Chain A
Amino acid sequence: MTATTTTALPLPAARIGTQSPGRLAVRRFLRHRMAVASVVLLVLIALAALLLPIAVPHDPNAVDIMALQKPPGDGHLLGTDAAGRDVLARLLAGGQISLLVGLTVAVVATLLGLVLGAVAGYFGGWVDMVIGRITDVVLSFPTLIVVISVVAFVGPSLTTLIVAIGLCEWPTACRIVRGLTLSLRQRDSIQAAVALGASSWHVLRRHIAPEVVAPLTVVATLLVAQAITLEAALSFLGLGVPQPTASWGNMLNAASSLTTLQSMPWLWLPPGIAIAVTILAVNFVGDGLRDAVDPRQSR
Chain B
Amino acid sequence: MTGHHPAPTAPLLDIDSLVTEFRTESGLLRAVNGASYRVMPGESVGVVGESGSGKSVTVMSVLGLLPPTARTVSGSAWFGGRDLLTLRAKEMEDIRGREIGLIFQDPMTALNPVMTIGRQIAEALQRHRGDMSRRTALRRAVDLLGEVGIPKPEQRAGQYPHEFSGGMRQRAMIAMAMANRPRLIIADEPTTALDVTIQAQILDLVRTVQQETGAALIFITHDLGVIAEMVDRVVVMYAGRAMEAATVDGLFHDPRHPYTCGLLDSLPRLSARTAELPVIPGQPPNPQHLPAGCEFLPRCARSNGRAECAVRPDLAVVPNAPDDHLAACHFSDEVRMTAVQA
Interface positions of A (Cβ within 8 A of B): 1-2, 4-18, 20-21, 124-125, 187-189, 191-199, 202, 206-207, 210-211
Contact = CB atoms under 8 A, between A and B. Distances in A.
Contact of A7 (B94, B136, B143, B163): B143
21 contacts: A1-B208, A6-B140, A9-B153, A9-B154, A11-B135, A12-B156, A14-B158, A15-B155, A17-B163, A18-B160, A20-B160, A189-B110, A189-B113, A191-B65, A192-B104, A195-B63, A196-B97, A196-B127, A197-B98, A197-B124, A197-B128
A20 B63 CA distance: 33
A11 B208 contact: no
B263 to A, nearest CB: 29
A189 B155 contact: no
Contacts of A4: 143, 147
B93 A199 contact: yes
Given A10-B154, A14-B155, A18-B160, A2 B147 contact: yes
B312 interface: no
Given A18-B116, A198-B97, 10 more contacts: A6-B139, A7-B143, A15-B158, A16-B155, A191-B104, A192-B176, A195-B97, A196-B179, A197-B95, A199-B90
A208 to B, nearest CB: 11
Interface in B167-183: 173, 176-177, 179
A202 B127 contact: yes
Interface string B126-157: 01100000011011111100111100011111
Interface in B212-270: 212
Contacts of B147: 1-2, 4
B189 interface: no
Size band of the interface chain B makes with A: 35 or more
B112 A189 contact: yes
A12 B142 CA distance: 8
B12 to A, nearest CB: 18
Contacts of B318: none
A189 B96 contact: no
A6 B143 contact: yes
B127 to A, nearest CB: 5
A195 B158 contact: no
A196 B124 contact: yes
Nearest to A7: B143
Given A1-B208, A124-B68, A192 B94 contact: no
Contact of B96 (A2, A18, A187, A196): A196
Interface string B103-135: 010100111111110100001100110000001
B15 interface: no
Contact of A197 (B94, B140, B142): B94
Contact of B127 (A189, A198, A207): A198
B141 to A, nearest CB: 8
A124 B176 CA distance: 28
B314 to A, nearest CB: 32
B165 to A, nearest CB: 15
A20 B113 CA distance: 11
Given A9-B142, A188-B110, A198 B68 contact: no
Interface pairs A-B: 10 shortest CB-CB: A197-B97, A196-B97, A12-B157, A12-B158, A188-B109, A195-B102, A192-B110, A188-B110, A197-B96, A189-B112
